[in-house]
């Protein structure tokens, strides 16, 4: 029986080694996909800020819809990456050390893009808030001007004279 167990664990080991190599291939593919999504989001973030600053609302809304689709793809990739987060990176078997280094480089690039995306989102939010506040101030000034004009118009209207239509006697 122990011979059978030894064979099985040897087979399991070979299978695990093959699986690990395939797992690292999948990991590398997922990291490439993550990098592609983050690169798109970063580019879209630059355009988003430009649209916000220029007040190009229609284009901004179209861009936000496209951005949402990229976020959905990124979430799908992140879910597929979840099992790798629990692994010890030093225990993974890679086809080559170059493949491992390239994957690590891409991860570093992902981290840098994430930081840039967060900064862009903050800038866009600040710009939207600034534009909203400016618009609110303009509307308030217009409201006050309308009230003032209404008050002057009411004062300058001649009062209607009263015609006495009652008859005496």
Among 34-38, 83-87, 141-145, top mean pLDDT goes to 34-38
Extents of the domains making up the chain: 11-143
Q: How far apart are the first and last CA of the chain?
A: 135
Q: Quick one: which of 108, 125, 115, 104 has its CA closest to 41?
A: 115
* 47 burial via Cβ count (<10 Å: 0-12, 13-18, 19+): middle
- Residue 15 above 70 pLDDT? no
Task: Give the pLDDT score at 34.
Answer: 98
Q: pTM of this prediction?
A: 0.70
Collapse the DSSP code of 63 into the 3-class scheme (helix H, G, I; strand E, B; otherwise coil) and give the result: helix
Residue 65 has pLDDT above 50, yes or no: yes
The three-state secondary structure class of 112 is: helix
In the predicted model, what is the mean pLDDT of residues 96-100? Answer: 94
């Amino acid at each position: 029986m122990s011979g059978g167990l030894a064979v099985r664990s040897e087979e399991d080991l070979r299978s695990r080694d093959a699986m690990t190599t395939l797992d690292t291939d999948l990991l590398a593919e997922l990291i490439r996909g993550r990098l592609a999504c983050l690169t798109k989001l970063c580019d879209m973030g630059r355009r988003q800020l430009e649209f916000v600053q220029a007040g190009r609302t229609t284009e901004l809304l179209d861009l936000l819809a496209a951005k949402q689709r990229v976020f959905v793809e990124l979430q799908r990739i992140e879910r597929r990456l979840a099992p790798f987060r629990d692994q010890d990176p030093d225990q993974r078997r890679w086809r080559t050390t170059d493949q491992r280094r390239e994957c690590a480089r891409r991860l570093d690039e992902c981290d840098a893009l994430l930081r840039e995306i967060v900064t862009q989102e903050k800038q866009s939010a600040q710009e939207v808030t600034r534009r909203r506040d400016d618009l609110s101030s303009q509307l308030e000034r217009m409201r006050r001007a309308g009230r003032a004009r209404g008050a002057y118009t009411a004062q300058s209207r001649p009062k209607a004279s009263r015609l006495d239509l009652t008859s005496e006697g």
